[in-house]
Amino acid sequence: MSNPFPSSSNVITAWYHEAEEARRTGHVETAQACLDRILAHDPGHAGALYSHALLALDSNQLEAAQRWVECAIEVQPHPAFYHTLCVIQIKSGAYASAAQTAQRGLAREPDSLALHYVLALALQVQGRHQDAATIYRRLLELKPDHAAALANLGSVVKEMGSLDEAERHLRQAIALAPPYPGARANLAHVLLAVGRYEEAWPYFEDRWVNFLDADGRPASERTQLPLPEWKGGHPHVANCANGPNSASAAQGALASEARLLVLPEQGHGDSLQFVRYLPLALARFSRVGYICPPPLRRLYEESLCARWPGLVMLDDAFPETGDWDWQCSLMSLPMAFGTRLDNIPAATYLYADSRRAGQWGARLAALPNPELPRVGVVWAGGHSGFTDDKARSLMCAQIAPLLALPYVRWISLQKTDDPAKRADAANASRLIDWTDEIADFADTAALIENLDLVISVDTSVAHLAAAMGKPVWLLNRFAGCWRWLRDRDDSPWYPSVRIFTQSQRDNWNDVLERVAAALPIQGKPYRTFVR
C-alpha cells in the first residue's frame, strides 16, 4: 500500500520519500528511523503515522499496526487509512469491528472498491451471508470484472443454497483470472455437492488454498516432497539409473514393486472417510504407507493393517522419502480411482477391537434398565475457530428435548477440550458420559460397537460410526458440507446414514423435532426405527 499524504515541508518531504523508498525496498530500520525523525518534528504527520502502521502490518505486529493507523485516522480520516484498519481487524479476527470501520470509510468515499470488498469479506466471515451478498453485488455494479468479488459472491450464495448461481459466479471469476485456485476450490465444492464427481475432482486439487488451522486462520502451504505424484493408472518404479525416487519412471517395473506414500489431510473426519481407499491402493502398489494422525493410528492398525499386511501406518512426521516411490494426498485418491456416485468403495471398513468392546458392553449391561436402546449423541464439532463449526454445532441445552425423552439410554460421545461444548449441569444427569476415559478413536469405536444408534452433528464421530456400519442419524446444517450432497436423506458414502437437514439456516428445532418423532417409543422394537 502507498501512503497518500506527504508533508508540505521540503525537508520533511525528503525524509518522507526516503522512508517510503526504504519501506518499499525492505530496509525496515532505515524506514523506521526516517519516520521517527519526521514525527519528532511533526507529531501529527498523517503519512508518517500511516507508514509506521504499514511497517508493523508487514511484520504481522497487528496491535502496533492498529495503534498507528488509528492515530493517522485521528489526524486525517482518509479512506485508505480505514481500509488498512479493516485489513488489520480482519487479520486479528475482529470481524464486527472491521465491518464498522469499512462503513465509516464508505461514508467518506461511497464508491471505494477496496472498502466495499473488505466490508463484504468481514460480513462473510461472520456468517452474515445475505448482507455480504448485497455488498458484493454493489461492488460488482461498480466493477463487473472484479474477479475476487465474483469468487466470494459464489462462495456466499453457495452457503445460501443457490448452487447454480454459485457455479456461474465462480466460473466467471476463473475466466477472468485463471487459474484462480480459490475459486477452483469453491467450484469443486459446488460440483461435489450436486454429485458431479468426475468434473469436480480436478478442481478439488486446489482445496489447499482454503485450508485453515485450528484457530480458523489460513494454514501453511501444501507440503512438498521430492516424490512424483500418483494420479491414477499403473505406477512404475524408476529404473536403477534414475534411482528409486525419480519422476521419470516410464521404463521401470510395474506395481508389484512400487511403493506409495499417502499424505494426511486437514481433519480426522476427512481421514475417516477416505482411508477406505488405502486397501484399494494395494492393488496398484506393493506397499502403501499412510502418515497417520496419532488419535487414529491404533484404530487403523487394528481395522486395516491387520487385514492388509502391505498397508503400514507411519508416525505423524514425514519419513525418509527414499523408502517410497510415489506420493498422493489422501483426498486425491478419489480422483486417482475415478470415483463417481455409483462406484464409491467400501461401505464398512472400520472395526472395534472385540476385547475393548466387550469391556464397554459389560459396563452398559450393568446399568439399570439394560434393555433400553442405547443412543450415542454428539451435539458439537471440534475446531471452534472455524466459521463452519458454529453453523454445524449446537449447545447441549438445545438438545435437552431429546435427552428428556424416556425409553432411551443416552450415551455421550462428545469429546472436546472446549468447556462450552460440554454437557451443562441440567442435562449431564440424563447422559452416561465416560468420554474422559476415551484416549483415542479406537476407544470410541469400542464404545460405539455397543450402541444401537449414533445421533451426531457433522463431525468425526459420525464418520467413524458410519464407517463401522452403525446406524447414524446426521444433524446436518442448511447447505451443509459437500460430502452429504443436497436434497438427500441418505448417503452414497455410508449406507447406514440417515440425514436430517435444516430446512432453514440456524433452525435446529425442526431438525430435532423430526429426530424425536423417529425415535423409539415404549413397546416397539428398536430395530423398526433404524433404516
Give DSSP secondary structure letters for 258-285: -EEEEEP-S-HHHHHHHTTHHHHHTTT-
What letter would DSSP give residue 218? B
CA distances from 525 to 371, 377, 450 (A): 11, 20, 17
DSSP state of 509: H
Report whether pLDDT(33) > 50: yes
1: confidence class by pLDDT, cuts 50, 70, 90? low
Q: What does the block give as the cell for 73?
A: 485516522
d(CA 459, CA 472): 12
H or E stretch including 453? strand 453-457
Give CA–CA dist 134/511, Å, rounded: 29
Entry pTM:
0.89
The four Cα atoms 375, 379, 384, 389 give a dihedral, to 10 degrees, of 110
- d(CA 343, CA 375) in angstroms, rounded, equals 31
| Residue type for position 123 | L
Amino acid type, 374: R
Longest dimension (CA), the chain: 92
What pLDDT, on a 0 to 100 scale, did the predictor assign at position 528? 46
User: What is the reported pLDDT for 320?
Assistant: 84
Q: Select the more confidently predicted residue: 3 or 432.
A: 432
Local confidence band at 412 (pLDDT 50, 70, 90 cut-offs): very high
Instruction: Inform me whether the pLDDT recorded for 209 exceeds 60.
Output: yes
Checking if the pLDDT of 217 tops 90, the result is: no
DSSP conformational letter for 230: P
Q: Any idea which fold 10-210 has?
A: 1.25.40
pLDDT at 31: 95
The model's confidence at residue 521, banded by pLDDT at 50, 70 and 90, is low
The superfamily in CATH containing domain 354-529 is: Glycogen Phosphorylase B; (3.40.50.2000)
Instruction: With CA atoms as reference, report the closest residue to 418 among 457, 449, 389, 445.
Output: 389
**Domain locations in the chain?**
10-210, 226-346, 354-529
The b/e string for 374-390 (b: 16+ C-beta within 10 A; e otherwise) is: bbbbbbbbbbbebebbe
* pLDDT score at 214: 42
Alpha-carbon distances, residue 530 vs 15, 147, 315, 450 (angstroms): 76, 47, 38, 15
| Residue matched to cell numbers 450464495 | 157
Q: Could you give phi then psi for residue 473, rounded to 5 degrees?
A: -105, 115
* Percent of the chain surpassing pLDDT 70: 89
Give Cα separations from 271 to 296, 326, 333, 467 (angstroms): 9, 19, 12, 11
> Residue type at 39?
L
The mean per-residue pLDDT over the stretch 146-169 comes to: 97
Closest to 102 in 3D by CA, of 144, 93, 90, 186: 90
Least Cα distance to 376 among 420, 338, 412 occurs for 412
Average pLDDT over residues 287-301: 97
d(CA 109, CA 116): 10
Q: Give 366 or 530, the one with higher predicted confidence.
A: 366
Contact 4, 52 (CB under 8 A): no
More confident residue, 318 or 393: 393
Contact 360, 439 (CB under 8 A): no
pLDDT at 354 over 90: yes
